[in-house]
């Protein structure tokens, strides 16, 4: 069963904690709201030891989506 994590970061840079939680709990779909880090910074952190995660661009600039699945499987519509 896939594991999801949603976290509103409230514009704080919590990259280190996001990375830890994602790996420790084997999160498959990670959704971050109001991140204080860019998608690139988070993706580099998530993949610092492995290349498990992909960024899946969405339609809302306040939400960032990362997945261990093929990112094309997450198609977001309005």
Distance CA 69, CA 8 (A): 22
Query: What mean pLDDT is predicted for residues 55-64?
Result: 87
Is residue 78 in some structural domain? no
| Residue 25 within any structural domain of the chain | yes
Q: What is the dihedral of CA 12, 44, 53, 39, to 10 degrees?
A: 50
pLDDT of residue 76: 61
Q: Is residue 19 part of a domain?
A: yes
pLDDT (tens digit per residue) in 14-28: 999 999 999 999 999
| In a domain? residue 77 | no
Is 30 in contact with 66 (CB distance < 8 Å)? yes
45 has a pLDDT exceeding 60? yes
Task: Quote the number of domains for the chain.
Answer: 1
Predicted confidence band of residue 54 (pLDDT cuts 50, 70, 90): very high
Domain that holds residue 16: 4-72
57 close to 65: Cβ distance less than 8 angstroms: yes
Report which of 13, 7, 44 is spatially closest to residue 25, judged by C-alpha positions.
7
**What is the number of other CB atoms lying within 10 angstroms of the CB of residue 53?**
24
């Amino acid at each position: 069963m896939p594991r999801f994590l949603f976290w509103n970061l409230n514009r704080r840079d919590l990259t280190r904690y996001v990375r830890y939680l994602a790996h420790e709990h084997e999160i498959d779909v990670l959704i971050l709201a109001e991140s204080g880090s860019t998608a690139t910074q988070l993706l580099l952190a998530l993949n610092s030891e492995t290349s498990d995660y992909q960024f899946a661009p969405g339609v809302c600039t306040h939400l960032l989506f990362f997945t261990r699945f093929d990112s094309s499987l997450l198609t977001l519509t309005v």
